[in-house]
């Protein structure tokens, strides 16, 4: 109990999440065995990062940085606008389509938010959209990034729980596309009520062709990454390295959009982002060991089973727990702490490990857009200058739809397992 109180106290006073996890974990080791157990802390700290698959994360982050800096994001947005920009609320629809295209390259919601916050939000404002609505569309689309593969959260979950990362990647495709389609349905439903602008551009196959030609090499990238992983040609880590090489090649040789100083700047930014994530993972491994030693996962599982033995009720309790925790904690930390707790619990009620993983990852992704600690809200607020409260109000219809999709994903395993089973069968 002391460790739990200390953890939340440190969070409340604003200590960085990675430091909070480390201090709480060390306090737990002291509590159970003093200096003898305390000697384990450095060992656990480094072993927490000693997984080959974690190498994929900095590569995917760097690939996203390269695409943002080189203008590949703008080319994808232009292609998306050519496809759906003629509709009422066309730029909002384009924002969603661009999120799907961008998702297949980086797997990071915050990267998506930052990129489109600098490009699509100003463009939407210029066309007559309100800034809160423009921000809400961008935030709602941002969680498509870590849902459609590649996804850094899936890499973490698969590495920690021994679940096939390729299987998780395949399982995320349909839920991600469903998020896009239903959010576009929300935009269409709000079109007349909010009097959303309608582009002067008409539907044109010629315009689509030229936009596709301009962005073809960028669009080809998700196919290379996902095809290589899903068909077993390369590992996720190798695919991430290929993504960086490919992004660098087309940015420097084909588009000629990068300078050497840009590359240095991107490497520094990637190191900073990766350092923060890896600090959280390493520090959380100490706390996770303490939780395992104290049999906390078993106790939580027993408590859930005590409340009900009905699998449907337990799934509902898990969703409430994830959405609640995600509102107040960094999702990487939440995943690392809760995965060892919820993994065995979902297995005990007969959930497929891949299905359970997608449910957990999607629930935490939604937390990226819920106050008070929604990372995408903070990023977009800082980029655009819009207040978080206004973005949150405009976000409500999209949030309702995405929570509904989460419920469908949780209770209908066919949606997530269809593609993995198809690939396994072939």
**pLDDT value for 64:** 74
Residue 290 lies in a domain: no
- For the residues 395-402, what does the mean pLDDT come to? 92
Tally of structural domains, the chain: 1
Residue 166 lies in a domain: yes
Residues 245, 145: Cα–Cα separation, whole Å: 20
**pLDDT value for 101:** 78
**pLDDT value for 127:** 79
Encode pLDDT of 342-357 as tens digits: 888 888 888 999 999 9
- For the residues 248-256, what does the mean pLDDT come to? 85
Of 207-221, 313-327, 356-370, the range with the lowest mean pLDDT is 207-221
Residue 24 lies in a domain: no
Residue 228 lies in a domain: yes
Residues 235, 81: Cα–Cα separation, whole Å: 33
**pLDDT value for 335:** 84
Residue 88's beta-bridge partner residues?
198
Residues 340, 347: Cα–Cα separation, whole Å: 11
Residue 37 lies in a domain: no
Q: Pick the closest to residue 121 from 400, 383, 411, 417 (CA basis).
A: 383
pTM for this prediction: 0.79
Give the DSSP letter string of 53-84: GGGHHHHHHHHHHHHHHHTHHHHHHHHHHHHH
Q: Pick the closest to residue 108 from 74, 155, 71 (CA basis).
A: 155
- For the residues 241-260, what does the mean pLDDT come to? 84
Residue 341 lies in a domain: yes
**pLDDT value for 80:** 81
Give start and end residues of each alpha helix (H) in 107-232.
109-118, 120-127, 131-142, 152-161, 165-193, 205-230
Q: 154 lies in which domain range?
A: 51-257+295-425
202: which DSSP letter? P
Evaluated on CA atoms 295, 168, 318, 135, the torsion sign reads positive
More confident residue, 282 or 137: 137
Residue 394 lies in a domain: yes
Cα dist. 326→211, 319, 366 in Å? 38, 10, 8
The 3-state DSSP class for residue 198 equals: strand
- For the residues 224-238, what does the mean pLDDT come to? 76
Residue 243 lies in a domain: yes
């Amino acid at each position: 109990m002391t460790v739990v109180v200390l953890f939340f106290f440190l969070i409340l006073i604003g200590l960085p999440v990675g430091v909070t996890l480390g201090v709480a974990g060390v306090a737990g080791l002291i509590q159970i065995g003093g200096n003898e157990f305390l000697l384990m802390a450095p060992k656990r700290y480094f072993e927490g990062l000693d997984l080959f698959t974690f190498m994929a994360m900095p590569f995917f982050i760097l690939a996203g940085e390269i695409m943002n800096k080189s203008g590949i994001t703008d080319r994808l947005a232009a292609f998306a606008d050519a496809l759906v920009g003629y509709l009422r609320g066309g730029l909002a629809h384009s924002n969603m389509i661009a999120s799907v295209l961008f998702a297949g390259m980086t797997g990071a919601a915050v990267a998506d938010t930052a990129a489109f916050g600098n490009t699509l939000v100003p463009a939407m404002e210029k066309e007559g959209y309100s800034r809160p609505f423009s921000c809400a569309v961008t935030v709602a689309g941002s969680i498509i990034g870590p849902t459609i593969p590649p996804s850094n959260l899936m890499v973490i979950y698969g590495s920690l729980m021994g679940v096939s990362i390729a299987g998780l990647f395949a399982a995320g495709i349909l839920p991600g596309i469903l998020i896009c389609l239903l959010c576009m349905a929300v935009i269409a439903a709000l079109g007349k009520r909010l009097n959303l602008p309608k582009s002067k551009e008409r539907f044109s196959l010629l315009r689509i062709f030229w936009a596709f030609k301009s962005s073809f090499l960028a669009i080809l990238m998700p196919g290379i990454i996902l095809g290589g992983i899903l068909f077993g040609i390369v590992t996720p880590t190798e695919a991430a390295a290929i993504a960086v090489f490919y992004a660098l090649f087309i940015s420097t040789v084909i588009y000629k959009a990068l300078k050497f100083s840009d590359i240095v700047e991107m490497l520094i930014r990637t190191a900073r982002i990766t350092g923060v994530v890896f600090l959280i993972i390493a520090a959380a491994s100490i706390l996770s060991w303490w939780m395992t030693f104290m049999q906390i996962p078993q106790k939580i599982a027993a408590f859930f089973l005590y409340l009900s033995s009905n699998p449907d009720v337990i799934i509902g309790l898990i969703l409430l727990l994830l959405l609640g925790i995600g509102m107040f904690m960094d999702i990487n930390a939440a995943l690392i702490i809760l995965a060892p707790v919820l993994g065995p619990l979902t297995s005990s009620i007969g959930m497929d490990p891949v299905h359970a993983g997608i449910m957990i990852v999607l629930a935490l992704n939604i937390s990226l857009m819920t106050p008070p600690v929604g990372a995408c809200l903070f990023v977009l607020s800082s980029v655009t200058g819009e207040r978080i409260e206004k973005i949150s109000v405009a976000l409500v219809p999209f949030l309702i739809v995405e929570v509904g999709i989460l419920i469908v994903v949780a209770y209908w395993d066919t949606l997530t397992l269809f593609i993995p089973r198809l690939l396994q069968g072939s």
